[in-house]
Structure 1
Amino acid sequence: MNPDDQGLREWAYDPVAVEPQQDFDLLLATIPQRSYVEFAGDVACPKADYFLRILYLIVGDAVRTDYSSDCRNTIDDLLQAGRAQGSASVLAWVARSERLMLRPEEFDFDLWCGGGFVRPERDEPAHGNRPQQTRALGSSRPCYHAAWTWTSDP
């Protein structure tokens, strides 16, 4: 499935809709769109955190692979949209992304590709108070995160 803008918008705002296919988030991460920023920052969007995870995945994977997964211009465009969107969660993503782009050695797979930044306690590491683990750039480990499912609960 290659979602069009309208179909993706309908799915994003449907509180009971599940992913239309396995690894839908990974598919969406391969086709970055500014609408993900809109969805991630909209408190009325039931899948806001889902899209925020995708934004972290896109940037994390791009930096981790030295922009071979997504070009720098695409990332810059998403960050510009994030600055304009202005919600706290999206602005945190922008700030973290800009820092990672300046300091790629700080990449942490669990935080960027495993959804670790998108939790109720967003400033906490993914696994409580454990030290952050960093992985070297160019690692052969793919930047995929564990699958999550959506229910009617936000």
Structure 2
Amino acid sequence: MSAQESTFHGFANPVDPSPAELRAWAYQPDSVPLTSMPQDWDLLVAGDHLVQTLFELSMDPACPARRFALHCLYIYAADGIRTNFRAHPKRRFRKLVEQAERAGDQLMHNWAHNSRVLLARPDLFAYRDWCEGGLVRENRRIG
């Protein structure tokens, strides 16, 4: 039985969910509403430990929490770029961008494009767009 087919009963520790827990929740996000999560949960999960899971969820058009996962990818990209990759490995970031360009749909192409533009022009960072979900809600390209 896959995570998508199993029943999700909650996180053992919502501040530090496992990849399997995050994946199971993403396919049944109403089981634990975002409003019941710790404050700034998006910032907490947008790290190296879960980035591959977030990327896979973002690549899946059938994932009910896809937009949330994509929002976390925007946070991850901005955090890496703005810290000159002290926060996250540049190699991992580049691999995700290349994979999104190669195999992603328009949402993922926009994320990859925006990430590359921010990498070249960090002055284009706007907290509202990258950390509050503006680029996900508007599905637009910068630069």
Give the TM-score, by structure 2 length.
0.75
Aligned mate of 1:109, from 127, 134, 139:
127
1:3-152 equivalences under 5 Å are: 3-17=17-31, 18-19=33-34, 21-22=37-38, 23-31=40-48, 32-119=50-137, 121-123=138-140
The unaligned stretches of length 5 or more in structure 1 are 126-154
Distance (whole Å) between structure 2 residues aligned to residue 93 and residue 124 of structure 1: 8
Q: For 1:104-150, what per-residue CA distance to the aligned partner results, in whole angstroms no more than 9, with x for missing partners?
A: 1222221111211011x32289xxxxxxxxxxxxxxxxxxxxxxxxx
Q: Is the 8 Å Cα contact of residues 110 and 140 (structure 2) preserved in structure 1?
A: no
Name the amino acid aligned to 1:9.
R
Name the amino acid aligned to 2:20.
Q
Question: Where do 4+ consecutive residues of structure 1 move more than 6 Å?
Answer: none
**SS at 1:34 equivalent:** helix
Count of residues in Structure 1 that have an aligned counterpart in Structure 2: 124
Give % identity.
Answer: 31
Distance (whole Å) between structure 1 residues aligned to residue 79 and residue 125 of structure 2: 9
The unaligned stretches of length 5 or more in structure 2 are 1-12
Q: For 1:41-99, what per-residue CA distance to the aligned partner results, in whole angstroms no more than 9, with x for missing partners?
A: 32211110001100111111211222222121221122133234311101110011011
More helix by share: 2
Give the TM-score, by structure 1 length.
0.70
Alpha-carbon RMSD: 2.1
Distance (whole Å) between structure 1 residues aligned to residue 29 and residue 103 of structure 2: 22
